[in-house]
């Protein structure tokens, strides 16, 4: 979605964009995507690019959320088990609101978006804010992340952290972190969060 939004914006301003470009930016952070748009000669400010990308991705998500298989079921199961859930995202509210709207009803007790108060990821602030709003110790939380920036933020906040995306390239100082686990899929995430297997 993000690569498609970048490609659309670049082409609208008369610059070339090819399928290989889509593949090259998969998994990039939002600041990196914005920098790429500007590098391609799009005559907008950084803030304008950020707003446009979030608007376009939010519009796509409102038409249909591409959930991972089993993700909605896992959220509902954790919610029904009495585990409070927070959605902590680096993306802006226009995107986060679309995610919340397509999730099972009322599963998220707390929602923290990237355009909220405090410093964004990789600062620990978003996770610390979520833990405070949930009235829990961050050290008792499990964060599920899909980017190096998010992993760094979650670990800095003190959470146990899980990444299940094999494409996530972790920096050397994170690979062997004692509070970080790589898992193969959502079933493993569920087992960790529910405490079936000890951390």
CATH code of 151's domain:
3.40.50.1000
Collect all residues with Cβ–Cβ distance below 8 Å to 139 and sequence separation of at least 6: 158, 159, 160
Q: How far apart are CA 177 and CA 154, in angstroms?
A: 12
Q: What would the mean pLDDT of 73-86 be, rounded to a whole number?
A: 94
Selected residue with higher pLDDT from 27 and 127: 127
pLDDT, tens digit, 9 for 90 and up, residues 91-122: 999 999 999 999 999 999 999 999 988 898 88
199 within some domain: no
Q: How many domains does the chain have?
A: 2
Is residue 46 located within the same domain as residue 103? no
Q: Domain ends where: 18, 34, 63?
A: 63
What global pTM score does this model have? 0.83
Is residue 107 located within the same domain as residue 190? yes
Is residue 103 located within the same domain as residue 180? yes
Strand partners, 162: 144, 181
Is residue 6 located within the same domain as residue 59? yes
Range of the domain at 44: 2-63
Is residue 129 located within the same domain as residue 40? no
Is residue 112 located within the same domain as residue 34? no
Q: Domain ends where: 24, 46, 63?
A: 63
């Amino acid at each position: 979605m993000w690569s498609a939004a970048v490609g659309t914006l670049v082409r609208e301003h008369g610059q070339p964009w090819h399928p290989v470009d889509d593949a090259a930016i998969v998994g990039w952070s939002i600041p990196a995507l914005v920098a790429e748009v500007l590098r391609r000669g799009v005559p907008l400010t950084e803030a304008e690019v950020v707003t446009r990308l979030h608007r376009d991705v939010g519009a796509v998500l409102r038409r249909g959320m591409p959930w991972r298989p089993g993700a909605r079921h896992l959220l509902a199961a954790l919610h029904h088990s009495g585990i409070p859930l927070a959605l902590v995202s680096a993306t802006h509210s226009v995107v986060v609101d679309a995610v919340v709207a397509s999730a099972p009803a009322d599963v998220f007790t707390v929602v923290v978006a990237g355009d909220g108060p405090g410093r964004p990821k990789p600062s620990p602030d978003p996770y610390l804010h979520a833990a405070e709003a949930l009235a829990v110790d961050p050290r008792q939380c499990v964060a599920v992340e899909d980017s190096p920036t998010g992993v760094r933020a979650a670990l800095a906040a003190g959470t146990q952290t899980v990444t299940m995306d094999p494409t996530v390239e972790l920096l050397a100082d994170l690979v062997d972190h004692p509070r970080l686990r790589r898992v193969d899929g959502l079933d493993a995430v569920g087992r960790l969060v529910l405490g079936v297997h000890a951390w």
